[in-house]
Amino acid sequence: MPIKARRKVVFSKVEATYGVDPVPVAATDALLVRAFSCVPVELQYEERDPALPFFGNQGQIKAGEFMRMEYDIEAAGAGAVDSAPKYGSCLKGAVLSETITPATGPVTYAPISSGEQSCTQYFYWDGLLHKMLGARAEVSLRMRKGQVPLFHFTWTGLYGGISDVALASPTLTGFQKPLAVNKANTTFSLHGYAAPLEELTIDLGNEINYRNLPNSETVNFVGRKTLGSVTIELPLIATKDFFTIVRNATLGALASVHGTAAGNKVLIDAANVQLTNPRYSEPDGIAMLQMGLEIQPSGAGNDEVTFKTQ
């Protein structure tokens, strides 16, 4: 029988020891993902190129191997104001800390520069199980009017094997129903102005690389520069002079609350946002302003942006 392409299940679990499989299970570690893709084996080669009296391939020597996975997760709350969302392990694997404020919430995910965690990811594809160990991710948040906001994860991890295993039956009841980005569900402000929002993207900018040395094979987090873009309705200068803000490289805050009910809110906060490269567009016959976002930390560091559920 052929493998049915739409029968997919994905698990994620934080590792206690780097690269050691913590064995994710269906009851607690299943993910509700969209737009999933997988590179089952990405190989690094050293190509042989000996001097010979004839032409042709002489083979390649394998120098390393790793795995990639990529998917979206709907940005929604956890069901309770002080509970971590079911996708919390993924945010930790994307080099974010998790801080839970008891009773009132929120649960806050903030950037870190050391002490980063790693995840084991399982991908069941009908009758095949793919294991990725020691994985770390780049993550971006994507919000667009009329659509569900999404966290987009791009994982790199150690190759853990592919084997014939029956498809798991995941428990997904902890995932909350997401809401569309619109006036009823979403508030947004940029540099103190409640701008009508068309689209927002924030890319955490993690630098993730695979490294294979004698006595060491790892996927490493080595840096971060957080960028983004925003598209809003173009205001009059008297309402908000974004052009002077851009020209003067003035820093200001970005804030959004998505969701209205306790237990199903997602909050985004960035205190030091520089706006760059203004451009015009005209969707739906409305004048729009698109700008780049350079999202900067304070002098304390590790605070350029936070994602919260509450």
Res 222 pLDDT > 90: yes
- Cβ proximity of 139 and 151 under 8 Å: yes
Mean pLDDT of 6-16: 97
Q: Round the average pLDDT of the chain to a whole number and report it.
A: 97
Integer angstrom CA distances of residue 289 from 41, 148, 235, 283:
42, 22, 8, 11
Mean pLDDT of 199-226: 98
Q: What is the pLDDT of residues 154-204, one digit of tens each?
A: 999 999 999 999 999 999 999 999 999 999 999 999 999 999 999 999 999
**Tell me, what's the pLDDT at 228?**
98
Q: For residues 308 and 231, what is the distance between their CA atoms, to the nearest angstrom?
A: 22
Return the DSSP state at 16.
Answer: S
Res 269 pLDDT > 90: yes
- Cβ proximity of 258 and 178 under 8 Å: no
Q: Which residue has the higher pLDDT, 38 or 50?
A: 38
Q: What percent of the chain has pLDDT over 90?
A: 97
* Of 230, 278, 232, 271, residue with least CA distance to 254: 271
Q: What percent of the chain has pLDDT over 70?
A: 100
**Tell me, what's the pLDDT at 180?**
98
**Tell me, what's the pLDDT at 213?**
96
Angle CA 6–10–13, to nearest 5: 180
Question: CA end-to-end span of the chain, whole Å?
Answer: 45
Mean pLDDT of 267-275: 98
**Tell me, what's the pLDDT at 233?**
98
Which two structure tokens, joined as six digits, stand for 135?
């994985």
State residue 171 phi and psi, 5-degree precision.
-100, 115
Q: Is 92 helix (H, G, I), strand (E, B) or coil?
A: helix
**Tell me, what's the pLDDT at 49?**
86
Mean pLDDT of 222-247: 98
Q: What is the pLDDT of residues 98-127, one digit of tens each?
A: 999 999 999 999 999 999 999 999 999 999
Q: For residues 64 and 44, what is the distance between their CA atoms, to the nearest angstrom?
A: 5
Per-residue pLDDT band at 31 (split at 50, 70, 90): very high
Q: For residues 287 and 91, what is the distance between their CA atoms, to the nearest angstrom?
A: 36
Q: Is the dihedral of CA 84, 154, 23, 17 positive or negative?
A: negative
Q: Which segments within the chain are labelled E, that is strand?
A: 8-14, 30-31, 34-47, 60-74, 96-100, 107-111, 119-125, 128-144, 150-164, 186-190, 197-203, 206-213, 216-224, 227-233, 251-258, 266-281, 288-296, 306-309
Alpha helices in the chain (DSSP H): 26-29, 88-93, 242-247
**Tell me, what's the pLDDT at 136?**
98
Q: Residue 192, class by beta-carbon neighbours within 10 Å (0-12 exposed, 13-18 middle, 19+ buried)?
A: exposed
Res 1 pLDDT > 90: no
